[in-house]
Amino acid sequence: MARQRSGMVFEREKGVWYARVTFTDQEGKRRYIKRKADTKTHARELVKQIIRDLDDSGDTVIEGSQIVLSKYFDHWLEAAAKPRLSERTFADYEDLARRYIRPFMGNKKLSDVRPLDIQALYSSMQERGLSARTVRYTHAVLTSAFKQAVKWGMLIRNPASMADLPRLSRKEMNALSPDEAARFLWAAREDRWGLIFTLALATGMRPEEYLGLQWKDINFDLGLVTVQRTLCWRRRGGGWYFGEPKTTRSRRNIPLPFSVVRDLREHKRRQAEERLKAGAKYQTLDIVFATNEGGPLSPQNLFRRHFRPIMRKAGLSEAIRMYDLRHSCATLLLAAQENPKVVSERLGHASITLTLDTYSHVLPSMQKAATEKLEDMLFSKIG
């Protein structure tokens, strides 16, 4: 059946223009879409845009003047966000929308959302004690959603672009000193999963990276470990999956200390014995750090049952997290005057700028050492 459409522009009151397109939907019902415009010319452009969107969607365009924000989010998440996001990021978007956006203004019409409404949402989140980082992440989701609504001709402008964001406060970073690192490694020797934390401290890998390692990622002859996947646990619905590394530069080769290579060889031997004992129950996932039946380890259980007891045994602060072993690796290397570019590559940072910005607290001591080197090179010889 031929599609029936007609478009028009009209001025409801002086200087207030509207674009209106009437069409027949897939069920044969006569419907219309109306958009407010800034000028007559803008209204004409909107008519053309609406018709293009109807062509692209098969006459299933959602009416921005009527749809509530919560329903729009359902459509946007499924049609626009899901195809381009990783499973983990998509879950984060869904979670932020469910926890913060929908309860606050989910029943508000999409076309009625104003910058003041978004600002009120951010203020409410801060009053509840949520961090500036959470507010900014929520802002990123809203900005993306409204940007798509503008592209679809459902909004004239993005209301999130005019909201003010809270300033990010730099948290004090927890990192082990050389003495504390030695005490930690000593205490970890007797733990079943002490090798995991030794590897983390020696390589600077993220927890999801070292828990996602498979034996094919370790080259014993060259003493190298390759990061090429992550282990991700779903927040809702349970289960796990192998995901992509955080960034392109997160895919990297990291040289291993001889002691770690030796311990990995021994760990592989013990794991082979466990696999024989488990028999057919053992999962053939090739995971380096696996349960007695070959499955992946839970980060929460690993932290509670192994990492925290090690910290207590070493007499170290329980404020330190498993992720802080990554910070400790970087801090120790930079304090030892290692080239920041080398440290950046080891961590898999997107750029050396990120490394220097993240670990700026180490730079003063590096500058002092550099000054002493200049003193020795330039001035000591002239008295």
Span between the terminal Cα atoms of the chain, in Å: 96
**What's the pLDDT band for 382 if we cut at 50, 70, 90?**
low
* Contact in structure between 1 and 13 (CB atoms under 8 Å): no
Burial of 366 (0-12, 13-18, 19+ CB in 10 A): middle
Q: Taking the model in full, what pTM does it have?
A: 0.72
pLDDT of residue 296: 96
- Per-residue pLDDT band for 24 (boundaries 50, 70, 90) equals confident
CA-based torsion, 298, 300, 303, 306: positive or negative: negative
Instruction: List C-alpha distances in Å: 272 to 266, 267, 293, 352.
Output: 10, 9, 11, 40
Q: What percent of the chain lies above the pLDDT cut of 70? A: 92
DSSP lists the bridge partners of residue 138 as none
Lowest mean pLDDT among 74-83, 239-248, 280-289, 353-362: 353-362
pLDDT tens digit string along 180-217? 999 999 999 999 999 999 999 999 999 999 999 999 99
Helix axes 178-188, 194-203, angle to 10 degrees: 150
60 pLDDT tier (thresholds 50, 70, 90) = low
Averaged pLDDT score across all residues of the chain: 88
pLDDT digits 0-9 by tens, 134-157:
999 999 999 999 999 888 878 777
69-162, CATH topology level: DNA polymerase; domain 1 (1.10.150)
Q: Does residue 125 carry a pLDDT above 90?
A: yes
Query: What CATH code would you report for 178-319?
Result: 1.10.443.10
Residue type, 229: R
